[in-house]
Amino acid sequence: MLHHIQKSIMDKLATTETKRYGELKPAELDGNVFGYHLKALLIEKYVTKSEQGDYRLTQKGKDYIVHRYENPLLQAHSIFLIAVSRDDAWLMRERLVQPLLGMTGFIHGEPIANEAIAVTAARRLHEKTGLDVDLSVQGSGLISITRGGVLESYSHAVVLTGQTDSDISITKDSTGHNFWLPASELDSATILPSCIDIISRIDKHDFTPFDFHYNL
């Protein structure tokens, strides 16, 4: 967390391309104290100094300004969900780590900038299961999950679907256990309810945006 003096420097730089030392330093603040905090921002690469002596925000500094007032626990995290079917069964993954330890859902991952999400998701699927499946985006929406009244997960999820005749070659790693679950057993208490609702939408070819809220 940045010191309030460091935050004030960042705020001043946020309103212009560059500023000189004298434009950043408050007149009433001791030079040694101000210099200490300015140097800290340079070391942490929030701020950069040009050969001419001007200061400006780095990309890291700009990202800080954008997200300064956000609470990461309450902001939707961007992920993709991979819904793969084989005959009348769906590919599922039991979570062996927190959050949602012990619950079962789709294999998921995070989008990567400058890469098509279907490419990222297909690679993730292969890494986790050994399966090579052509995936296509079929919609997106928000999923909020609380347990015991405490928010455990809040995501903006892009749903990708695919079909295969192949079997899983990687059944387990340190974070999860993969298996095929017959559609008739989707009502298991350990299945994340978002998976059930998403599969229902897939069956109905309903790919409109969704906003799911669950309390486990």
| pTM of the complete model | 0.73
The domain limits of the chain are 4-67, 77-215
Give domain 4-67's CATH architecture: Orthogonal Bundle (1.10)
**Average pLDDT along the chain, 216 residues, taken 10 residues at a time:** 89 91 93 94 95 93 78 78 97 91 94 95 98 97 90 93 97 95 91 96 96 94
**143 has which bridge partners?**
155, 212
Contact 107, 192 (CB under 8 A): no
Q: Are 110 and 103 in contact (CB under 8 A)?
A: no
pLDDT attached to residue 45 = 95
User: Which CATH fold would you assign to the domain 77-215?
Assistant: Nucleoside Triphosphate Pyrophosphohydrolase (3.90.79)
Residue 84: count other Cβ atoms within 10 Å of its Cβ.
23
